[in-house]
Chain A
């Protein structure tokens, strides 16, 4: 009897002591930020991603499971720039968690850390689902990953000062490997320079910008507007005058329009992983870019 009381007390005490030692709970809106947080936080962070590579981050439901995760999170890492405008505000509102509200240390908007492409000079929805703060699909430029890594490492240290030195160390280690990888990718990607490409949505801009490719058009007639037959046939005509090499799409976009255009042009349809988990090969940030280049170079041959 006495023993069981002791055991109970001990287990109670240990469960009470647990929070101090518990890992920082991080909810990433997209898989790339979950991977980056794991790179920088290691075992000191408990990371989950609100979306997978198979899901369109524009169209996510503020599901009960996500509200529960937001309620318990110490840090939210999201792209921002309006990418999650349809669901993140609901998660924040319904979470009852003051630590991760916008403006708090527990809210990190990755898009704020990078130079943005395509900041619209005209804000009007006649142009489709325009993002006022610029193109939010920032993760396909490895230099952006490095920029976000810097602010994320600092933020982890602010939220978990006990392990600040550890985060700094992991950041330095990650950056050394990352910079070496960027050098390697730049060399590998040389044949892609100047290559003409078509994308499904305006979501490949940062990849195209980084690799110096030349975008000719999109399958959508405007951001968030489904490919229409009129627009697609105009695109076929355009490609006859200005042949493209590649037709890019993400894992969550339907392949139909890509394959349709492939049949009617000299371009090859290709699906880079887009984010971590987008292809079986893209298991972390390094393999994300390895596989992206492998697929682009493979299709461009």
Chain B
């Protein structure tokens, strides 16, 4: 468009300047004998000469520009060495934040009804548990806006399309950029550093869904509203320590309607390189949170639908390790990622049966449960653009103590079981900004049947250049 405009402008400018040049030539070659060689005539002649020289120079310059523009168009290549024409910063939108959009969609084929999905032995933790809906869905499409706020702060907000078609605020935080000595403070809503995978947005996942242990213990991903302070040690070795103070509204906590800090996370991570080809990171974490009347639906011993509730302390310990390898550290052709995480949760409090008196309740008594789980996954890029991955999930929900004051048969969802899942995926990335994925999973999250799951997914990123967190 710009080039066309320039071309038109050049042509338009050339016409009037070419005409006087011709006219000047004419006057010069046919001198008028009637004009005597007075000083006035000489002056006029000099002026004409000057004008002609100026016009000639102008014409040549324009011709050069025209040739330049034409050759550029012919090669369809952008401009050469001249400094770029600096666009004049226009008013307000020059300071618009960076916008990154991820369009993602999934086609799911599930052998079991997703409405009946449950992780046997675990109280459900929100709607991000399970394989999602059947057929086509928008998945985790999201919009991220980010920018520096002033010399001291950076801000970011990520909005995503939720399962129920509403728009949710995944993260909205401000972060310091000018604290000294490796200190970084973050405030707002953010994904907690409780686990390696927890801080990553859905489009960075290597599989369509989160590991079962994340679904069981955090309802998918653990986000918190509050503040984080982290510190990087002044060492050659990467050592990061941090603490998060939150409102504790997210599962396994809930809205406890209390002032002060309702959830606390501590985390420590370290990592380094193994030669030029390998690098690793290990993470330890601890989360203390609290639930008050955190209710969930279950079926009691009479077969009636009831709502039960848990109140009490919930402590989670986590450990994870990631190893990445690429020949000479060059990710271009082949690379490999191995990653595993383990979490253990201790719930201590009381359990209430039939909160809403649907089946003769309520009744309550002490409750204690120790649950854990792990996953291990490996993703290998075997040639440019193509990756294959395998993942195994294992959960343990066999240690629970329901008070004799309650009938444990009234809590069918908490019946001890060790769910597991095996997943295979292959993905293809036409460019750095697009990816297609095919994933198969055998999900044994319930004792009586296996859910055979097939996902076909696209993930496309547009706008601001995405980053690839380690």
Contacts and interface: CB of A to CB of B under 8 A. Distances in A.
Interface of A: 51-52, 54-56, 58-65, 67-69, 71-72, 82, 85-87, 89-90, 93-98, 101, 115-122, 125, 128-129, 134, 209, 224-226, 252-254
B330 A56 contact: yes
Nearest to A226: B384
Interface of B: 2-3, 77-84, 154, 175, 177-184, 230-232, 234-239, 269-273, 276, 279-281, 324, 328-333, 384-385, 430-433, 462, 465-470
Contact of A71 (B78, B234, B272, B331): B234
A33 to B, nearest CB: 18
Contact of B332 (A65, A90, A129, A252): A252
Contact of A61 (B234, B239, B470): B470
A93 to B, nearest CB: 7
Nearest to B180: A98
B427 to A, nearest CB: 15
Contact of B231 (A65, A68, A93, A96): A96
Contact of A63 (B239, B273, B431): B273
A55 B433 contact: no
B234 A62 contact: no
B324 A61 contact: yes
A74 to B, nearest CB: 12
A121 B80 CA distance: 11
Contacts of A134: 84
A96 B183 contact: yes
A253 B332 CA distance: 8
B281 A119 contact: no
A231 to B, nearest CB: 13
28 contacts: A51-B329, A52-B329, A56-B332, A59-B330, A60-B329, A63-B324, A64-B279, A64-B470, A68-B236, A68-B272, A82-B465, A86-B432, A86-B467, A89-B467, A90-B468, A90-B470, A93-B175, A96-B179, A96-B230, A96-B232, A117-B80, A125-B433, A128-B431, A129-B432, A134-B84, A226-B384, A252-B332, A254-B333
A98 B179 contact: yes
Given A98-B178, A125-B462, A67 B238 contact: yes
B276 A52 contact: yes
Contacts of A51: 329
A254 B469 contact: no
A24 to B, nearest CB: 16
Contacts of B468: 59, 61-62, 86-87, 90
A225 B429 CA distance: 10
A64 B271 CA distance: 5
Contact of A65 (B2, B180, B182, B272): B272
A83 to B, nearest CB: 11
Given A68-B239, A86-B432, 20 more contacts: A54-B328, A54-B329, A56-B330, A64-B271, A64-B470, A65-B238, A82-B465, A85-B465, A86-B465, A86-B468, A89-B467, A90-B469, A96-B179, A96-B181, A97-B182, A98-B178, A115-B82, A119-B84, A225-B431, A253-B332
A116 B232 contact: no
Nearest to B274: A65
B230 to A, nearest CB: 7
Candidate in A51, A117, A118, A119 with the most chain B CB atoms within 10 angstroms = A119
